[in-house]
Amino acid sequence: MRILEISPELALQRLSEGAVLIDVRQPLERAGGMAEGARGITLADLQADPAAHLPQQHQDILLICQTGKRSADAALFLHAAGYANVAWVAGGTVAWRAQQLPLVQPPGTAEDRDFHDRYSRHLLLPQVGEAGQRLLQRSRVLVLGAGGLGSPAGFYLAAAGVGQLRFVDDDRVERSNLHRQIVHTEAGVGQFKVDSARERLLALNPSITIEAIAERATSANIDALMEGVDVVLDGSDNFPLRYLLNDACIKHATPLVYAAIERFDGQVSVFDAGRQRGVAPCYRCLFPQPPPPEFAPNCAEAGVLGVLPGLAGVLQATEVLKLLLGIGEPLTGRLLRFDALEMRFRETRLSPDPHCAVCVPGQDFPGYIDYAAFCSGR
């Protein structure tokens, strides 16, 4: 059976003569522009209950989609359902636009249009969709450190639409940071890193909220910094802060996305023992005791290839998004190590330590300690 196929020009003429034009695309597709006079009804909704949308089976019905396939399918469906005067627009909205026929923005607020346009590629993913993107919009991530790791991770979390990013760092931008801390610019030298990061990330995505906290995270303020947080991203470069974050995340039952870099090597993992006691390990299960300082120099002492934190930070951002969306398999219980010189990746399985000082099931949180003294061996 062949259903009538008409050109966009003829569809526009018939529309002016009283025909009904139905755009069967998804809302995110229609956000880019609809044929003027069209009604937006998705193909699934139309097929679920055609009479609810088209009560008069004798009326002149035209169908349009992006390029023509879905509207042709819709026309066949309606014809089989008893609608006699059905046609579909050849070439769809693409052809309509190419022939410079009138287009309009669909009803909705400017915020809705920005949402569907900005995140259109996310919305196409079944694992994300509009529900997942709205979930990201409601999420809050604590980013400890606006340096080498926080820079790339922050860019991608902001671009992805994570609604609230809380950056904590008491350092100021130095010129030596710029070869790897890509969120900062020459103009930002001397500025607090959190303020510099906030400016750049809001320029990328003004629809999110960024809290810039120019403080050092300590045992005294960590609980306040953790308030309302869904995931913590560890962008620190020292062991006292890593142990503090680990302990706080166990206390608050919040997943911790960890990374560390040195020279040409890096490692990334997810520690989720706070929510999965006895199942998932914590940072202390991997490092019950900190290594001596001479065996764990920071970037200022050992140097680092400028692109290395970008690689680690993007992996961290990926893990954060997976945790927020509840998709895929996070790096929980796995340590991913990489050697950038050889471009080799190696994965090591991690198990919870049954004698861990903080994450053993049924154990009350022991409280924060003097982490600087603990890491210095005093």
pLDDT of residue 293: 63
Work out the pLDDT band at 26, boundaries 50, 70, 90: confident
Name the band, by pLDDT with cuts 50, 70 and 90, for residue 299: low
Looking at residue 172, the DSSP 8-state letter turns out to be B
State the average pLDDT over residues 279-301. 80
Residues 21 and 37: beta-carbon distance below 8 Å = yes
Evaluate if residue 297 carries a pLDDT over 70.
Answer: no
Q: What ranges in the chain are assigned the alpha helix state H?
A: 8-16, 27-30, 43-48, 50-53, 69-80, 92-98, 110-118, 120-123, 129-137, 150-160, 193-204, 222-225, 239-251, 283-286, 299-302, 308-325, 371-376
245 and 256 Cβ atoms separated by less than 8 Å: yes
Distance CA(66)–CA(63), nearest Å, equals: 11
Average pLDDT over residues 50-57: 93
Q: Could you tell me the pLDDT band of residue 301, with boundaries at 50, 70 and 90?
A: low
> Does the pLDDT value for residue 378 go beyond 60?
yes
DSSP per residue over 290-336, as a string? PPPGGGS--HHHH-B-TTHHHHHHHHHHHHHHHHHHT-S---BTEEE
Q: What pLDDT does residue 71 have?
A: 95
Q: What is the pLDDT of residue 296?
A: 59
Lowest-confidence region among 91-105, 110-124, 196-210, 278-292: 110-124
Mean pLDDT of 177-182: 94
- pLDDT per position as a tens digit, 133-144: 999 999 999 999
Pairing of strands 20-23, 61-64: parallel
Q: State the Cα–Cα distance between residues 68 and 93, nearest whole angstrom.
A: 8
For residue 2, what pLDDT is reported?
Answer: 61
How many C-beta atoms lie closer than 10 Å to residue 112's C-beta?
Answer: 14
Quick one: DSSP state of residue 270?
A: E
Spell out the domains of the chain, with CATH numbers in brackets: 4-107 (3.40.250.10), 139-376 (3.40.50.720)
| Segment of 27-31, 112-116, 201-205 carrying the highest mean pLDDT | 201-205
Pair 3, 87: CB distance under 8 Å: yes
Rg of the chain on CA atoms, in Å: 27
Distance separating alpha carbons of residues 282 and 262, to the nearest angstrom: 21
